[in-house]
Structure 1
Amino acid sequence: MLKKLLSFVIIIFTALFISACSDNERQMYVGKSDNWEVNYGREENFAIKYIGEESMPKTEINYIIVQGLRTTDGNSPLNSAGVMSIKRPFREQNDDTNIKVTINWEGYSEEFILESR
């Protein structure tokens, strides 16, 4: 009887652990504009990628990320693949809170919202 009870408890804890981990791993926010694509996920990085048809910006880009009451901004160049990565602790969003991204470069500006995937 004790063996059956112990086996049952182990199975329940394993199932709970797996379901909790799988939900966290899937949480990701993505957004896209005419020239930019942004991904933000559990690895705690914002990946900003240039996807425009014109040549890649040669100067630093300015980014502003607004997440609830938290704002992160800065200037940085893109790497040779047109990507910039920003380290920032991951914070899951409530349904009523958006992540707004504004990117400014070479006299242009685009703003868009990241959506949960």
Structure 2
Amino acid sequence: MDVARLLLSGPRGRRLCLELAMALDPGVREMVFQHGYDLDPGRGSSRIRLVAFAREDEPHDPAQNEPTGIDGLVDRLISLGAFEVDDASVASPLVRSVDTARYWQEPDGEDCSLPSQKWGRR
């Protein structure tokens, strides 16, 4: 089994890949934040979201028109393409992946964002 398939086969490996993608593209981080909240089992009770709204006279961000949901996130991740990973670039994402592991309770919304079957369909 190649390294990519091995990483994507388990929740911590998928989270590591997601953390790497979020480090590469702030747009991925925003989509994961939005989508992760929607999937989080603690949504509205143990996890809340505060949002700031722009005034009408402020310029519109065209990134807000991008597809949302799991399909939009997967498309955005695929658009990143392949990239080189070295020890320095993987250190912080690895720490974040381990720090978010909560084996004694349900996974959070970000961990639910990338179920393995979605990766297999593309």
TM-score exceeds 0.5 = no
More helix by share: 2
Give the number of the structure with larger relative contact order, counting CA–CA contacts within 8 Å between residues 6 or more apart. 2
TM-score, normalised by the number of residues in structure 2: 0.27
TM-score, normalised by the number of residues in structure 1: 0.28
